[in-house]
Amino acid sequence: DIQMTQSPSSLSASVGDRVTITCRASQGITNYLAWFQQKPGKAPRSLIYLASSLQSGVPSKFSGSRSGTDFTLTISSLQPEDSATYYCLQYNTYPLTFGGGTKVEI
Amino acid sequence: EVQLVGSGGGFVQPGGSLRLSCAASGFTFSSYAMNWVRQAPGKGLEWVSTISGSAHITYYAASVKGRFTISRDNSKNTLWLQMDSLRVEDTAVYYCARDSANYWGEIDYWGQGSLVTVSS
């Protein structure tokens, strides 16, 4: 199985900050990586697919990138509503595997 | 508007069975693969199972293979997860989720989740 190592597990930032979350795949997954946002008590929301493509309706403050097997989610100009847990998902190979999550506090 | 409405969660004793349902609307259900993803209390997301649009192909996580069965009825726009031989560690919120039309596993929409509690 492909392991997705997500870091950091939590972070605290201020309004207006730019934050970066990373997922490292244990083997190559090309660009088959997605990012999700989950607020407490709610279903996840899809943000990014194919490592860097924005889902419809997602603000451009969210962006994704890839460098080899390292994937990054960047949130620019952090706002209070961005407080959530963020997960990556590799869908290159079954079983699909998620990263452990990053809790973003503002 | 894509909508996925889950139901069927509840309380069950270890070794028991439960069937989850997910009613889909707002898209051509038969054209999309569907998934179940779960989240244990206070934990992260775990993929459980995937079924193709035609229902001919299914995948399962090792943790549920042989105990859970994913199925769908495209005439009723409904997805199911039959859960047998339930264990305490199966306690979780179960989400149904749609794959995009582009790639298997590329989840784009999520249902609201159904809580399953397995306890004696």
Predicted local confidence at residue B90, as pLDDT: 98
Name residues 2-31 of chain A within 8 A of B (Cβ): none
Name residues 47-66 of chain A within 8 A of B (Cβ): 49-50, 55
Which of B45, B106, B110 is nearest residue A49 as measured by Cβ atoms? B106
Report the distance separating Cα A46 and Cα B104, nearest Å: 15
- Residues sharing a CB contact under 8 Å with residue B53, sequence separation 6 or more, in sequence order: B29, B30, B31, B32, B33, B74
Which chain B residues contact residue A50 at CB under 8 A? 103, 106
B103 touches A at CB < 8 Å: yes
Predicted local confidence at residue B104, as pLDDT: 85
Confidence check: pLDDT of B15 > 90: yes
**Of A96, A98, A103, which to mutate for an interface test with B (greatest number of B Cβ within 10 Å)?**
A96
Q: What one-character DSSP code corresponds to residue B88?
A: G
Task: Tell me which residues of chain A have a pLDDT lower than 50.
Answer: none
Predicted local confidence at residue B103, as pLDDT: 83
Which of B95, B102, B105 is nearest residue A96 as measured by Cβ atoms? B105
Which of A91, A95, A98 is nearest residue B106 as measured by Cβ atoms? A91
Confidence check: pLDDT of B76 > 90: yes
Report the distance separating Cα B108 and Cα B39, nearest Å: 17
Tell me: the pLDDT tens digits for B31-71? 999 999 999 999 999 999 999 999 999 999 999 999 999 99
Tell me: the pLDDT tens digits for B46-57? 999 999 999 999
pLDDT category, B3, cuts 50, 70, 90? Answer: very high
Tell me: the pLDDT tens digits for B96-120? 999 998 888 899 999 999 999 999 9
**Of A86, A89, A91, A92, which to mutate for an interface test with B (greatest number of B Cβ within 10 Å)?**
A91
CA nearest to B65 within chain A: A95
What are the contacts of A51-57 at 24+ separation with CB within 8 A?
Answer: A55/B108
Rounded to a whole number of angstroms, the distance from the CA of B73 to the nearest CA of chain A is 23
Predicted local confidence at residue B105, as pLDDT: 86
Instruction: Pull the structure tokens for residue B85.
Output: 């031989």
Average pLDDT, stretch B10-17?
97
